[in-house]
A and B are shown apart, each in its own frame.
Chain A
Amino acid sequence: MNKKIQRSLAVVSAAALVFGVAAAQTSANAAPKTVTIAYQGPLSGGEASTGTDEQNAVKYAIKLFNAKNKATYNVKLVSIDDQGDPAVAGTVAPGIGKNKAILGVVGPAYSGATIASLPFYKAGGLVLISPSATRVSLTDSASPDFGGPVFHRVVGKDDLQGPALAKYATQGVSNAKVFVFDDQSSYAVPLAGYVKGGLAKVAGATVVGTDSVPNTTTDFSPTIAKIKTSGATVVIYTGYYSQAAVFIKQLRDSGSKAIFAGGDGVFNQEFPKLAGAAAEESRVTGVGGLAGVSAALEADYKKQMGVSSGVYSVESLDAANILLQGILKGNTTRAKMLAWVKAYNGKSITGNTIKFSANGDISYGLFAGFTTKNGVLVNTGIVK
């Protein structure tokens, strides 16, 4: 009897969890017009930290906007959690594509999830501005992955970054012997290809070895053995900062003094924090963060959001601002918003001019070089 009660209680509480829909919040204040934009990226699962950082920047932009335009507009944010996973994106996107209340999307954050979502957004005419999807094929009209006309991005693509990374990594090294390896992800493998392409154009540089290391690896000893055998003087890693930090520690502990360089996946102030002294003098390409734009902005961000800004916060802010300015101009249908973004000509918070090409790329996309000094990645200027 007792067991029965327990059981039914369990069933009831499970049911309450499942079907207990949170009551929709309706506001009685009808004066400002409510409009909705969305952020799409990984908000749960293994990649959640990237998505959370980006979404915070979008929330910050909306917070400022709503405070400023209290009387006219009230912008709401829909969080679309695709876990950075194309399989999840495929189930989430149809609903977003159909939901005409959503005027535009900041995101998707990841290229794979973007490709999986695109058919639905194309069908729905929903404009996308991604802060971090860098895969070249997304804006290549000859590719099956092509995202036009809806896809735009405010981040430089891989074929700009690859050569920049190759140049920056080999700066000041004569006859560089370069070892290139990636983390087997869909972000890293193509980027590694563009890095190799870029190295071919650097005088004296040769690729002496390559590897492809699954992104769950923590034991890099085989890769380090290869680096030592190849006699590499420069090691370039395309992958993410957490793995890079584990790797660079092991590389330095093995006694190697080779220069270490990484792409924008490594560009994160967590990298020197995780790697400690081993990260000193590491070279990383990326686009500067909020603090790099202005310390006051970062301070205000921290005050408003309660956390420091993270990866791609500048890009996320830019992307959100483009949509918000569109709203302010009264572009409150999808078609108008798409036209607004396509014709957009404005300034990024970094001062660069944002103007999308026909395929959805920004014109600048210049990558800055960063070097770790005393545990901080320091901007050394745009890589030329």
Chain B
Amino acid sequence: MKIRNYWNLRDFGASTWENASRPVRVAIALISIVLVGLLPFMGGSILATPIASFDAVLVYPVGMFVLMSLGLNIVVGKSGMLDLGYVAFFAIGAYTMAILGTTTGLNTWEIMPIGIAFAMTAGVLLGIPTLRLRGDYLAIVTLGFGEIVRLVVLNSSWSKGPNGIANIPMPPNLGPLKFELENQKVFFWVVMAMIMLTIWMIRRLTVRRPGRAWEAIRQDEDAAELMGVPTLKYKIWSFTLGAAVGGAAGVLYASKNLYIAPEMFTLNVSILILACVVFGGIGNIWGVVVGATILGYLPDRIRFISDARLLVFGLVLVIVMNFRPDGLLPRKKREKAIVKKGANA
């Protein structure tokens, strides 16, 4: 395959970063964080969304999509397992928040670890039996798991069935930062902090043993197993970490939306998140961030073509995938898996 070096933003970014000295790096990072943090004040600019409120859109879908895509990227991008049921962990987090938040006196920050723990437990319980499966079989089993979670919630009375749960409490104030209904900038900053934490976690893991194990599994699972990588263990780890991020996103979402119902957790969400990962550049953190931002933002930005906006969304997916199949910001070449023709993986 010929390597074409066109419009390579990733390499440009990577080389700038590598050539920079430590103070410059800190400066770049700080400036970027401040600029992104100022986004909620940009509501009056060309970025504004016509009907949806801009600061709300920044939290959900954009921020949440970025967070969940990063979580899913650990599973799909880093260790190469196709997961079509990611929404299940999001739902588990959200329902933990909703039920505990409305029945006990716990606040969002106290429920957060519980929600994450539940999501991780679900990840382990699902992972142990199913992660032995490969490729598309894993895809359909995870897809099934996502649907099972939704249907159990829909058919049960403890979750109030299809009615959903209303009056979920907002998070308590963080010092001077007040959570407001009408201006969701603080929510956005919290999501941003969670995103940065996730990015930091992924970057640390990637350069250490788990990251190398995932890489080996993704490239060739049999070879990895042969070389002594305990593949199942690392696959479960990757799955569980992904679940933790999904669960955390769910807790915050429930606490932001104040109302959740089973119809919010359909397969479409899983597919959309997967689309974000692949669209931006599977395996590459910054690609995923860009992809999720665009796909989260686009449908609300183009509301003026209201009826046809999903059509445009579909077209964008097809066009971008056809012209940039590795995503907008692809991962480095050496990290790409060797394409094994005819192999079932």
Contacts and interface: CB of A to CB of B under 8 A. Distances in A.
Answer yes or no: A and B touching, Cβ < 8 Å: yes
B142 interface: no
Interface stretch (B19-27, B55-63, B118-126, B216-224): B55-63
Interface residues of A, number: 49
Contact of B164 (A6, A115, A124): A115
B306 A79 contact: yes
Given A90-B257, A123-B181, A123-B182, A44 B309 contact: yes
Given A112-B261, A115-B259, A90 B60 contact: yes
Nearest to A186: B162
A81 B51 contact: yes
B312 A87 contact: no
Interface stretch (A12-20, A268-276, A279-287, A355-363): A12-20
B162 A18 contact: no
B300 A91 contact: yes
Contacts, number: 133
Nearest to B264: A87
Interface stretch (A93-101, A222-230, A319-327): A93-101
Contacts of B298: 18
Contacts of A143: 166
Main DSSP-derived SS at the B contact region: helix
A7 interface: yes
A91 B56 contact: yes
Nearest to A48: B307
A10 interface: yes
Given A44-B307, A86-B264, A144-B102, A17 B164 contact: no
B261 A17 contact: no
A120 B161 contact: no
A357 to B, nearest CB: 21
B158 interface: no
B31 interface: no
A93 B51 CA distance: 9
Given A80-B51, A91-B60, A189-B162, A116 B257 contact: yes
A94 B163 contact: no
B182 A124 contact: yes
Interface string B301-321: 111111101101000100110
Closest 9 CB pairs of A and B: A95-B53, A144-B167, A94-B53, A186-B162, A94-B56, A87-B264, A90-B257, A144-B166, A116-B259
Given A93-B53, A94-B53, A184-B162, 4 more contacts: A87-B60, A95-B54, A116-B258, A123-B182
Interface of B: 6, 46, 49, 51-57, 60-61, 102, 154-155, 161-167, 181-184, 256-261, 263-264, 298, 300-307, 309-310, 312, 316, 319-320, 323
